[in-house]
Structure 1
Amino acid sequence: MTSPLGAAGVHTVIGVDAGSANLREADHLIHHLVDGFGLPRGTVACTHLIRTDERRSTAVSLALPDAGAAEVAWTRVLDWAGPDTGAAFGDRTHGSAQAAGAARLAAEEHAGRRAGRAVSYPGVDALVGTVTVADLLGLSAVDRVVVVGAPSVDGAGPDPATAVRTRDHVRPEWRDGRLTLALVPAVGGALAPFEVPNPTPCCADHG
């Protein structure tokens, strides 16, 4: 399944920095924005670790399916954002220079598909319980899976029939322009996402 971000991604990606201190807080923020704003199917929302001289936080980015949807989302972000929240969309910003700069960096990373840990994306709701590698790739926006410590042969990944125990927590990352999920060996010859829920899957009640 392809993701919605195209060559004009800069016109569809919004960055938001609400001062989240860690990934869990940022995951909650994403669910609040995606669910609370009623963002359309096809939205890809990611977390970004911001570590600059001016800002240390975990910002988020929202890649909307098209420019029109992004404009609507931007209006909703501005209506919601307080004075301590930074936001960026193209050449428009909100908030302090430090917070807006962090939001812009998150948006740029996502638009360029250079970085970003995806929390909400097409097909994520299907990645629960145990699925196969083939289903994971076929039912969601995940483009590629890699097994940590097991270099691929001729670019091939794990056997498509291999079971993946998702733990209902699947967080792929943008790597070299592709949404990539890192896996590790699990019991019984299965695989599991490298990132472990801590301490439990975030926002289970958002299902």
Structure 2
Amino acid sequence: MTPPAAPYVLGIDTDATTLREADHLLQALAVELALPEGVFGCTHLVRDGRPRIALSLADGTEPVPRTARDRLTARGYALRDGAWDATGRAVLYPGADRATGTLTLAELLARSAIDRVTVLGTPEEPGPDTRLNTRDHVRPHWQDGRLVLAAMPAAGGVLVPFEDPDPTPCCAVH
């Protein structure tokens, strides 16, 4: 799988400051704009004078429809052709809705656009029968043109995605 490239990628500047906020915005826009199932929707950390999380939308084969661009502009979003970087964090991707529950890695790769799973701290890739408890929150990243999910070992001999669906805010216990 290769990440869609400009002009097939629509960048959307936002005021989102958390990944959770950006995820919800991206999912809401996909519904509101009636985007097809094969769309890739990613988040991108923007570190300039106004740190924020921008979004990108693409289906890989054709530009985002002009009507979607018009509706986003009417809502006050600044748009650009292309994403902020090539390592976007995928929230929407083919098969994302089927990456739920506990699956073998072979099932995950067959059901979704994810190309590969890596395990933090290990040089080799896990076997296809390795089980992954998705926690219903699978956010792969683009790496060298492939959609890659970073995972880590968890209790019970399974893997879990590295990104926690309910992270504890920094300094929450202070």
The aligned residue for residue 173 of structure 1 is 141
Matches within 5 A, 1:49-128: 49-52=45-48, 54-79=49-74, 81-82=75-76, 85-89=77-81, 107-109=83-85, 114-128=86-100
1:12 Cα shift?
A: 1.1
For the 8 Å contact 1:172–1:181, the answer to whether it is kept is yes
| TM-score in terms of structure 1 length | 0.75
- Answer yes or no: is the 8 Å Cα contact 1:10–1:108 preserved in 2: no
Report the AA paired with residue 77 of structure 1: L
Deviation at 1:196, TM superposition (A): 0.6
Q: Number of residues paired by the alignment? A: 168
Please list the CA deviations of residues 156-181 of structure 1 after superposition, one character each: whole Å capped at 9, or x if unmatched. x2110111000000000011111110
CA contact (8 A) 2:44 2:84 kept: no
Distance in 1 between residues matched to 2:144 and 2:3, nearest whole Å: 16
Question: Equivalents in 1 of 2:149, 2:8: separation in Å?
Answer: 23
User: Match for 1:133 among 105, 130, 136?
Assistant: 105
Amino acid at match of 1:60: L
The runs of at least 4 consecutive aligned structure 1 residues that moved more than 2 Å come to 2-5, 64-73
Where in structure 2 are there 5+ consecutive unaligned residues?
A: 169-174
Q: 1:73 to 1:65 in 2, by over 3 A?
A: farther
For 2:66 and 2:137, the matched residues in 1 are separated by: 30
Query: Could you tell me which amino acid in structure 2 is paired with residue 126 of structure 1?
Result: R
Distance of 2:162 and 2:69 partners within structure 1? 33
**Distance of aligned partners of 1:66 and 1:77 in 2 relative to their CA distance in 1, 3 Å threshold:** farther
C-alpha displacement of 1:189 = 1.3
SS at match of 2:6: helix
Query: For 2:155 and 2:37, how far apart are their aligned partners in 1?
Result: 34
Q: Using a 3 Å threshold, how does the CA distance of structure 1 residues 87 and 74 change in structure 2: closer, same or farther? A: same
Q: Measure, in 2, the Cα distance between the counterparts of 1:36 and 1:3.
A: 26
Structure number having the greater helix percentage: 1
Correspondence for 1:190 among 150, 158, 172: 158
1:150 aligns with 2:126: no
One-letter amino acid of the counterpart of residue 169, structure 1: H
Identity %: 47
What is the deviation of 1:14? 0.6
